[in-house]
Structure 1
Amino acid sequence: MCAAYSADGRAPNDRRRDKAVEVKIGVQHAPREITLESGQSVEDVERAVSDALAGKAPLLSLVDEHGRKVLVPADRLAYVEIGEPSARKVGFSAL
């Protein structure tokens, strides 16, 4: 085992989490919605949306599960749909 990894095999700054939250963002004057899987908690996503809508932040800023940042101007938000956290699926299985 490499010294840079913890006992569970993950790097200490690994952004992966056991749960993912699906977030759908509707943007005014845009034909398609933005859909992302976020490693942030439901509470963190809801707080970011509330801050953007209250004018505390000019942009809605969310991070997806790959570490990419999604920025949407707060005044262009049409809707935000926050899904329930779901466990990440690993491997293949027969249904």
Structure 2
Amino acid sequence: MEIKIGIAESNRELVLQSKDSSEDVKKAVGDALAGRTELLELTDEKGKRYLVPAARVSYVELGANESRSVGFNAS
């Protein structure tokens, strides 16, 4: 799933691909925005960890859980 995170006072957004379920990501985002954790912590498909201060998160956009096919389809 593709995740986009807008960070306050930054011109760019953080974009990562994650194997986590949308429910797990929504819980992590909710916990960070509700103040239960100080950092929004997510892991991408390759195991890289991303830590974003919860107070700096402007928005989070969650993509679809489906994987995209690569190549050409014969019709």
TM-score, structure 2 normalization: 0.91
> Shift of residue 84 of structure 1?
1.1
Q: Percent identity?
A: 48
2:54 is matched with 74
How many residues align? The count is: 73
- Superposed CA deviations along residues 31-82 of structure 1, whole A, max 9, x for unmatched, are 1000000010000000000000000000000000000001000000000001
TM-score, structure 1 normalization: 0.72
Instruction: Write 1 or 2 for the structure with the bigger share of helix.
Output: 2
Alpha-carbon separation, structure 1, partners of 2:47 and 2:68: 16
> Shift of residue 87 of structure 1?
2.1
Superposed CA RMSD? 1.3
In the TM superposition, structure 1's runs of 4+ consecutive aligned residues that sit over 6 Å from their partners are: none
Of the two, which has the highest radius of gyration?
A: 1
> Shift of residue 88 of structure 1?
5.3
5+ residue gaps, structure 2: none
